[in-house]
């Protein structure tokens, strides 16, 4: 099983939070105003949450799907990165198989978060679509992969049949390798049109059932780790940075990439609002992390 450095970062952050909380308690600040039951989690039940609250679990394509070279999927920058730089992965492994959601989705969906019928809450599973599984070389003119469309249709239908709403992330860091090679993907404004073409396929094929769309997952992590520290794909950074990359510019590239992500997000939202929202009735937004 592969282990992203992100988990280390997350654990570190979590520790930091715990330390901060302990410090706050020790100095007598911040805790006094909290009602007692907030400090004892045994009082926390699903019924503590308001009706309509959505419970769920979340995943990303590269960490879950596997089937990296199956079903006519094209390579993503994560496929290339893990194979070219096993030394940058904690245990040197990769996501070729991961937890094999590509083949085992029925077992996982059935065994996952089973909704309690009629408890007034809603249940969801958030997953991301792998762009190169839909458009193997990243661009529409490289063809739409029918096998990829079938896989996500099956997953979505399975979720709905179990009472789970699909929450779909359109981009969770796995840029098609083809676009990276052709024009530097997010370093070029050309990414905006290719991204818009890709999301349009997704809205058209899945939007009759998907009512919650996320354009980008945590752009901060993608830009910072991918283009500043260089510890994530595509592994670009200045030579003096942690990743000691051969190519990149940590002073400039993260900002260029961030700018193009914002433009691509805007293009996707504009397309959804103008062409799909009226008939499909969904919502669209972005997942932001701020750490
Ligand atoms: C990326 O991986 C593909 C498939 O393994 C390979 O053909 C290609 O040469 C790699 N590209 C780069 C830039 O490493
Ligand atoms: C994808 O394939 C099409 C058709 O062969 C080609 O015109 C296009 O340049 C390719 N795009 C990339 C990014 O390789």
Ligand that lies nearest to the alpha carbon of residue 194, given by its number in the listed order: 2
Low-confidence ranges of the chain (pLDDT < 50): 1-34
Q: Which two tokens stand for residue 14?
A: 């979590």
Residues 176-215 pLDDT 10s: 999 999 999 999 999 999 999 999 999 999 999 999 999 9
pLDDT for the residue numbered 81 = 98
Question: Does 135 sit in the ligand 2 pocket, CB within 6 Å?
Answer: no
Residue 153: C-alpha distances to residues 105, 188, 257 (Å): 12, 31, 31
CA of 73 to the centre of ligand 1 (A): 14
Which residue of 80, 137, 178 sits with most ligand 2 atoms within 8 Å of its CB, as the best mutation to test the pocket? 137
Q: Please report the pLDDT score of residue 27 as a whole number.
A: 33
CA–chain centroid gap for 7, Å, is: 14
Residue of 85, 177, 178, 247 best suited for mutating to test ligand 1, as the one with most atoms within 8 Å of CB: 177
Q: Enumerate residues 6+ apart whose C-beta is below 8 A from 109.
A: 125, 155, 158, 159, 162, 164
Q: Specify whether the CB–CB gap between 135 and 141 falls below 8 A.
A: no
CA 229 to centroid of ligand 1, rounded, Å: 22
What is the number of the ligand closest to the CA of 188? 2
Own/partner contacts of 248-256, CB < 8 Å, gap of 24 or more, are 253/187, 253/227, 253/228, 254/223, 254/224, 254/227, 254/228, 255/223, 256/186, 256/187
For residue 40, the model assigns a pLDDT of: 66
Per-residue model confidence (pLDDT) at position 8: 33
pLDDT digits (tens, 9 = 90+) for 217-263: 999 999 999 999 999 999 999 999 999 999 999 999 999 999 999 99
Catalytic position from the list 205, 218, 241, 253: 218
Nearest Cα residue to atom 2 of ligand 1: 80
Distance from C-alpha of 166 to C-alpha of 54, rounded to nearest angstrom = 11
Cross-strand bridge partners of residue 76: 176
d(CA 113, CA 126): 12
Query: Residue 284 carries which DSSP code?
Result: E
Q: Is 87 a catalytic residue?
A: no
In this prediction, residue 120 carries a pLDDT of 82
Which one of the ligands is nearest to 177 CA? 1
The DSSP code for 212 is: E
């Amino acid at each position: 099983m592969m282990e992203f450095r992100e988990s280390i970062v997350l654990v570190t952050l979590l520790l930091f939070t715990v330390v901060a909380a302990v410090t706050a308690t020790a100095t007598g600040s911040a805790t006094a105003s909290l009602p007692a039951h907030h400090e004892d989690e045994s009082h926390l039940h699903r019924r503590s949450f308001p009706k309509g609250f959505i419970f769920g679990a979340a995943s990303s394509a590269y960490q879950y799907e596997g089937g990296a070279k199956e079903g006519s999927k094209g390579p993503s920058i994560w496929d290339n990165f893990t194979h070219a730089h096993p030394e940058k992965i904690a245990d040197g492994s990769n996501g070729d198989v991961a937890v094999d959601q590509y083949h085992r989705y029925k077992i996982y969906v059935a065994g996952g978060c089973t909704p309690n019928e009629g408890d007034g809450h809603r249940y969801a599973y958030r997953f991301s679509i792998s762009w190169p599984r839909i458009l193997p070389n990243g661009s529409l003119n490289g063809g739409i992969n029918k096998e990829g469309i079938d896989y996500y249709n099956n997953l979505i239908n399975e979720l709905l049949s179990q009472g789970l709403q699909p929450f779909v992330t359109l981009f969770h860091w796995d840029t098609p390798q083809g676009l990276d090679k052709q024009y530097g993907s997010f370093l070029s404004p050309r990414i905006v049109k290719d991204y818009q073409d890709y999301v349009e396929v997704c809205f058209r094929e899945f939007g009759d059932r998907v009512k919650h769309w996320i354009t980008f997952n945590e752009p901060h992590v993608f830009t910072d780790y991918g283009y500043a520290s260089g510890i994530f794909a595509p592994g670009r950074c200045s030579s003096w940075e942690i990743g000691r990359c051969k190519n990149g510019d940590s002073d400039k590239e993260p900002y260029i990439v961030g700018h193009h992500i914002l433009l691509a997000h805007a293009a996707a939202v504009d397309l959804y609002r103008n062409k799909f929202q009226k008939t499909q009735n969904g919502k669209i937004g972005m997942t932001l992390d701020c750490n």
